[in-house]
Amino acid sequence: LPPDSRVGYAVVGLGHLALEEVLPALSSCEKSKLTALVSGSPEKMKKVAAQYGIKPESCYSYETYDQLKNNQEVDVIYIILPNALHKEYVVRGAKAGKHILCEKPMAVSSKECKEMIAACNAAKVKLMVAYRIQYQPHNRKLRELLQNKTFGAPKLIEASNSQSSANPAHWRHKKTLAGGGALPDIGLYCLNTNRFILGEEPTEVFAYQYSTPGNPLFTEVEELMSWQMRFPSGVIASCATDYNVHESRRYRVLCEKGWLNMDKAYAYKGQKLSTARAEGKMERQEEIGLSETNQFAAEMDHFSDCILKNKRPFTPGEEGLQDHILMEAIYESARTGKPVKL
């Protein structure tokens, strides 16, 4: 689309994700453009505004945020704040009459998610949760192969998303700002991607949780969560996440007649999809090459397309709510030592 017809975005919170991924991705979008900034750091915002050609009158603080209402160049507000602030800024943004794109995890509880959905419905604005993996070509291809039963029925999934953290002072390690530890931050990718590729909802979960005693990173939030999900088709997914191990972002789906494997599954780029098919007593392995696209640009252009054509986004608020309901069941199971039915 020509720049004049593109959907205008206000980006809220100029942290790592916004500065390193989202703002550069907006420059490569076809249907979306950056039109405003919101930050609590005026000096940083001034530099960013100069870099991306944003007018001083389109730069807002958290106090002047509600004035976005009067900015005709802004159609969408993209919330990229610490998790516990998502609800307030989504509700205020909806009241300002703007469509909302909200980072994952959607909030810090299912109760908050319901309030956010209600606020967007009341204001008649669209709400989308930024589940970028659902817009990523390799993961979409795997979903297609799975749902077409190309390798027979899926039976088991092994998934892990783990990394090493170092800074106990960061908001990710504070319960009040993060809501939880590895599970809502990175384990969420295993949860959400399993639901996405299978196209069904878990009916039962069972979980173990662990934090290394005395490690200051984990005095408030969990280090490790390992859980199983049982799906109506019979598939069992075993998932794990840890904030204190070398990076591992992968999953494998074991099917009747082969398997599908995704390396770097939840990374910003570099996904590698490989498959194995049983052929008599032999197996044939194949790597499925697909061209890389910028996931963040694909995700924002999808939302813009929904706004231009008045369609429901592929990952609406209800998608975030469902993950919070499941995460609450996972924490309950870890706490009680018993499976939790949904």
Give the integer Cα–Cα distance in Å for 309 and 299.
16
β-partners of residue 287 are 274
Distances (CA, A) of 335 to 161, 186, 199, 205: 21, 20, 28, 12
Minimum CB distance to ligand NDP, residue 284 (Å) = 34
Q: Among 134, 120, 132, 121, which Cα is nearest to 86's?
A: 120
Query: Is 34 one of the binding residues for ligand NDP (CB under 6 A)?
Result: no
Selected range binding ligand NDP among 8-16, 66-74, 157-165, 196-204, rule: CB under 6 A: 8-16
Give the number of other CB atoms < 10 A from CB of residue 46.
15
Query: Is 39 one of the binding residues for ligand NDP (CB under 6 A)?
Result: yes
Amino acid (one-letter) located at 203: T
Chain centroid to CA 100: 14
Closer residue to ligand NDP, CB minimum distance, 225 or 276: 225
Binding-site member from 27, 28, 30, 40 for ligand NDP (CB under 6 A): 40
Binding-site member from 25, 34, 74, 80 for ligand NDP (CB under 6 A): 80
Using only the alpha carbons of the chain, give its radius of gyration. Answer: 20
Selected range binding ligand NDP among 2-10, 77-85, 212-220, 284-292, rule: CB under 6 A: 77-85
Query: Is 15 one of the binding residues for ligand NDP (CB under 6 A)?
Result: yes
Is 104 marked active-site?
yes
Binding-site member from 7, 14, 49, 94 for ligand NDP (CB under 6 A): 14
Enter the DSSP assignment of 251: E
Selected range binding ligand NDP among 23-31, 33-41, 190-198, 233-241, rule: CB under 6 A: 33-41
Minimum CB distance to ligand NDP, residue 148 (Å) = 28
Kindly write down the DSSP assignment for every residue of 112-148, as one continuous string. Answer: HHHHHHHHHHHTT--EEE--GGGG-HHHHHHHHHHHT
Minimum CB distance to ligand NDP, residue 82 (Å) = 5
Query: Is 301 one of the binding residues for ligand NDP (CB under 6 A)?
Result: no
Cβ–Cβ < 8 Å for 25, 2? no
Query: Is 41 one of the binding residues for ligand NDP (CB under 6 A)?
Result: yes
288-292 own/partner pairs: CB under 8 Å, 24+ apart: 288/138, 288/141, 290/137, 290/138, 290/141, 291/137, 292/137
Q: Which of 33, 87, 98, 104 is catalytic?
A: 104
Query: Is 81 one of the binding residues for ligand NDP (CB under 6 A)?
Result: yes
Query: Is 13 one of the binding residues for ligand NDP (CB under 6 A)?
Result: yes
Binding-site member from 171, 208, 210, 314 for ligand NDP (CB under 6 A): 171
Q: Where are the alpha helices (DSSP H) in 15-85?
A: 16-17, 23-27, 42-52
Is 131 marked active-site?
no
Q: Which of 78, 135, 189, 266 is catalytic?
A: 189
The interface mask with ligand NDP, positions 174-193, x = CB under 6 A, is -----------x--------
Cβ–Cβ < 8 Å for 104, 131? yes
Give the number of other CB atoms < 10 A from CB of residue 170.
13
How big is the site for ligand NDP, counted in residues (CB under 6 A)?
A: 21
Phi first, then psi, for residue 106 (nearest 5°) are -55, -35
Minimum CB distance to ligand NDP, residue 41 (Å) = 4
Minimum CB distance to ligand NDP, residue 214 (Å) = 25
- The alpha carbon dihedral of 169, 171, 177, 183 has a sign of negative
Closer residue to ligand NDP, CB minimum distance, 25 or 235: 25
Binding-site member from 23, 29, 74, 130 for ligand NDP (CB under 6 A): 130
Distances (CA, A) of 327 to 63, 186, 210, 222, 309: 32, 12, 15, 13, 33
Minimum CB distance to ligand NDP, residue 18 (Å) = 6
The residues annotated with a catalytic role in the active site are 104, 189
- Please give the residue ranges that form the binding site for ligand NDP (CB under 6 A): 13-18, 39-41, 44, 80-83, 85, 103-104, 130, 132, 171, 185
